[in-house]
Amino acid sequence: MNAVISLCHFCELHGPSVLFVTQAFHEPHDPAAEPDVQQPKMCYGSASGRCRALSTNMPVSCEACQSLDPKQKFLCNDHEGRISYLSAQQAIQHDVAALVRQACIRSLSCEVYECEQAECPQRALRLRAAHTSSDGKHQQQRMSRSLVELTADKEVFPWLHLKFTWLLKAGADRLAEKIVEGLPTPNLYNHQDTEEGFTLVTAKQVHSPVLELEASASHDANPLAPVIHNVRHLREILGPTAFLSLAYSLMVGRQLILRGKPSGLIASIASCLTVLVPRSCYRAVLNSDQYLDVSYCNILGVEPQVAVPQPSPDVLRLDVLQSDDHADQSDVKKYIYKITWADKLPRKCPTLLLAMEKAIENTKLNDSAMHYHFIALKQEWLGIAKVVQHVQQWNPGQPQDVTSLLQAMGAQEQDQGLLEFWGASAAYSEH
């Protein structure tokens, strides 16, 4: 983690000013150097040669603004991490000093109103910066005091240097910078988010948005529209085996294609699936007029005429077909539900899926209690997935550590695919 900590001050005569800055300098990585023979240095990184540099262009200011002698600097070295922590009145590099100065001015001199705060919450609160003429005369008669005098502690700056150094080191030990691609975001021409958390999209030129929106919301307006109410109802309609295939594919990161009519029924099926996975693992797109790759969404709702890929292990398709006997279309049981998948369920399903299926079969659990039970189960396994993800990042090439960790947390081999997908999705969603 690269960061700079600065202590800023608002002077009644000179305005915002920087009193003290602590920054870290890392030793450049040398692949040819052997870690065992690296010797400690006086300074690491670009701090070498800078710790003796003097600031000769400091603006004239009072004792309050210049509590620390510009020639005085403090240095701490982390020889194990090969990092130098250097503190001075101003940042050593000109570009960093400009950023710190800008942050000081904005944090101590930005006037904020409630309307501005709503638009830009990063804006800081304004302190009293404007004075009347009488105030100015009164302030000039008062002697400016340095931080050392105000605190009556001659060692206040060494103490600040140690505390700021500890903050930077603790942050670097806990937070590591890394390059991630992030969750792919669809660069679509037109999209609209719904209250249910879905995204209504058209990847081509909009031609009938009103009809699509009306079709997607028709099940809410028409009380006779077919709707699947919850995951228990969905399992009853599909059957145990088909439901397990659908749930398993979603939990391990496969793409689900829901194809058919009416769109309200398709939307209700997609809505039922939200309780099975965390929010970071659920990306649904409904009413798309063309196929979208799994990088855009892992649940795709399309109409029957939309072409979709051939069956594969990575894509499961659920076709909702109307029966030929012109039965009552308001009854979800009168529709035909056909699953097409070029794979099959593993011999052992993930532990979480089996626990959820057991809860669905438990008639003593009402729908509300089952919903909260699923939330607790998801939080438990999401925590396990995050722990495994961190262990794999910090100890690459150590599969025995991951195996021991899984056993300690009650996870088994059949849970590996679920943990990998959940952990990766959670990591990407945080960046």
Q: Averaged over 17-44, what is the pLDDT?
A: 73
Q: What percent of the chain has pLDDT over 90?
A: 14
Q: Is the pLDDT of residue 68 over 60?
A: yes
What is the pLDDT confidence band of residue 123, given thresholds at 50, 70 and 90? very low
Task: Output the six-digit token pair for 419.
Answer: 């943990």
Within-domain flag for 179: no
Within-domain flag for 129: yes
pLDDT at residue 154, as a whole number:
84
What is the pLDDT confidence band of residue 54, given thresholds at 50, 70 and 90? very low
Same domain membership, residue 95 and residue 244: no
Q: Which candidate, 289, 146, 134, places its Cα nearest to that of 216?
A: 289
pLDDT at residue 25, as a whole number:
86
pLDDT at residue 50, as a whole number:
55
Within-domain flag for 182: no
Q: Averaged over 321-329, what is the pLDDT?
A: 70
Q: How many domains does the chain have?
A: 3
The torsion of the CA quartet 107, 109, 111, 117, rounded to 10 degrees, works out to -10
Contact in structure between 292 and 186 (CB atoms under 8 Å): yes
Number of H helices, E strands in the chain: 13, 11
Same domain membership, residue 232 and residue 261: yes
What gap in Å lies between CA 172 and CA 83, rounded to an integer? 11
Q: Which candidate, 365, 311, 1, places its Cα nearest to that of 175?
A: 1
More confident residue, 30 or 419: 419
What gap in Å lies between CA 183 and CA 154, rounded to an integer? 52
Provide CB contacts within 8 A for 36, sequence distance 6+.
none
Within-domain flag for 184: no
Task: Output the six-digit token pair for 10.
Answer: 């608002």
Q: Is the pLDDT of residue 74 over 70?
A: yes
Same domain membership, residue 376 and residue 322: no
Within-domain flag for 183: no
* Phi, psi torsion values for 75, nearest 5 degrees: -135, 130
Same domain membership, residue 130 and residue 256: no
What gap in Å lies between CA 272 and CA 263, rounded to an integer? 14
Same domain membership, residue 342 and residue 270: yes
Of 144, 174, 204, the last residue of a domain is 174
Q: Is the pLDDT of residue 182 over 50?
A: no
Same domain membership, residue 196 and residue 138: no
Same domain membership, residue 418 and residue 289: no
Which residue range(s) make up the domain with 215? 190-348
CATH code of the domain containing 288: 3.40.50.12430
Q: Is the pLDDT of residue 196 over 50?
A: no
Same domain membership, residue 233 and residue 149: no
Same domain membership, residue 155 and residue 44: yes
Of 115, 141, 174, the last residue of a domain is 174
pLDDT tens digits along 206-225: 333 333 333 344 444 455 67
Same domain membership, residue 312 and residue 202: yes
DSSP 330-379: T-GGGEEEEEE-SS---SS--HHHHHHHHHHH-TTS-HHHHHHHHHHHHH
Same domain membership, residue 121 and residue 80: yes
Same domain membership, residue 212 and residue 154: no
pLDDT at residue 132, as a whole number:
44
Other C-beta atoms lying within 10 Å of the C-beta of residue 295? 12
Question: Could you give the maximum distance between any two Cα atoms of the chain, in Å?
Answer: 97
Within-domain flag for 386: yes
Task: Output the six-digit token pair for 388.
Answer: 């495994």
Residue type, 103: A
DSSP 142-211: SPP--HHHHHT-TTHHHHHHHHHHHHHHHHHHH--------S-----SEEEE-TTS-EEEESS--S-HHH
Within-domain flag for 401: yes
What is the pLDDT confidence band of residue 356, given thresholds at 50, 70 and 90? very high
Contact in structure between 72 and 52 (CB atoms under 8 Å): no
Q: Is the pLDDT of residue 81 over 50?
A: yes
Within-domain flag for 180: no
Cβ-count burial 297-309 (b if 16+ within 10 Å, e if not)? bbbbbbbeeeebe
Q: What's the predicted TM-score (pTM) here? A: 0.52
Contact in structure between 8 and 104 (CB atoms under 8 Å): yes
Q: Is the pLDDT of residue 354 over 90?
A: yes
Burial category of 152 from C-beta neighbours within 10 Å (exposed 0-12, middle 13-18, buried 19 and up): exposed
Of 304, 322, 348, the last residue of a domain is 348
Q: Is the pLDDT of residue 416 over 60?
A: yes
- In three-state secondary structure terms, 284 is strand
